[in-house]
Amino acid sequence: MRKTALITGAAGGIGSAAARALAREGYNLLLNYRNSRQAALNLQADLRREGCDAITFRADVADADRVAEMFAKVQEHFGGLDLLINNAGISQQKLFTDITQTDYNCMFDSHVRGCFNCCQAALPSMINKKSGKIINISSVWGIEGASCEVHYSAAKAAIIGMTKALAKEVGPSKIQVNCIAPGVIDTGMNKDFSTQEIDDLVDSTPLGRMGSPDDIAELILFLASSKADFITGQVIGVDGGFR
């Protein structure tokens, strides 16, 4: 029987790489997006051509009611959920003194509230069947902190705390909750960095290159597999040694 995964922010670099990797492993997929409708539809079409049962669902994950509708769709279409990947998020570079209340709220809504809402929607059925995996995408900045990205760093750090606490709470129900902390990854989230800033980040990475979305997808595959059934509450860096 095929397993089912729900990926938030599935149209982005890491989300789409994860979707393609999981499709190759035989997963059914719900591809969540908020604004990137065409990219999500293009990804869905690609996956369907490869034999994957993939559907899209537009939802702002900060909206708990819309998230509930999305999880109801998973239940209706696939009959349940085995894997949740909380990947949706936004980025912004600003001096701390210039961050507005709107900036702060949008950052925490996208990352923290979205992760909270999706975990809360996923867990009742996972707890009932005593099985399931949740993978949250944080960032190296959630561990190290980044100048001019205080609200982003704080939101990503909150995801780490949520992961560790939730793993302890749902462990007795045989559910694993883990976190990936990517380093400098070659995705559209770096679009606001200058060439010099990217070069400086690469120079600060011992392996001497940016990571690729596929580097993250490979770890997602491992954590989703039975090989990782005794791993929970962990924050795993995929950062080329950046820390």
Structure confidence by residue, pLDDT tens digits, 95-126:
999 999 999 999 999 999 999 999 999 999 99
Catalytic residue list contains 152: yes
- Which percentage of the chain shows pLDDT scores above 90? 91
> Distance (Å, rounded) from C-alpha 185 to C-alpha 63?
28
Cα dihedral 27→47→69→216 (10° resolution) = 70
Q: Is the pLDDT of residue 191 over 90?
A: no
Find the mean pLDDT for residues 61-68. Answer: 98
* The pLDDT value given to residue 139: 97
Assess contact for 41 and 68: CB atoms under 8 A. Answer: no
- How are beta strands 83-86 and 4-7 bridged, if at all? parallel
Calpha distance 108→26 (Å, rounded): 33
Q: Which two tokens stand for residue 136?
A: 């949250």
pTM over 0.85: yes
Class of domain 4-238: alpha beta
**Of the residues 27, 33, 104, 152, which is catalytic?**
152
Residue 88: is its pLDDT beyond 80? yes
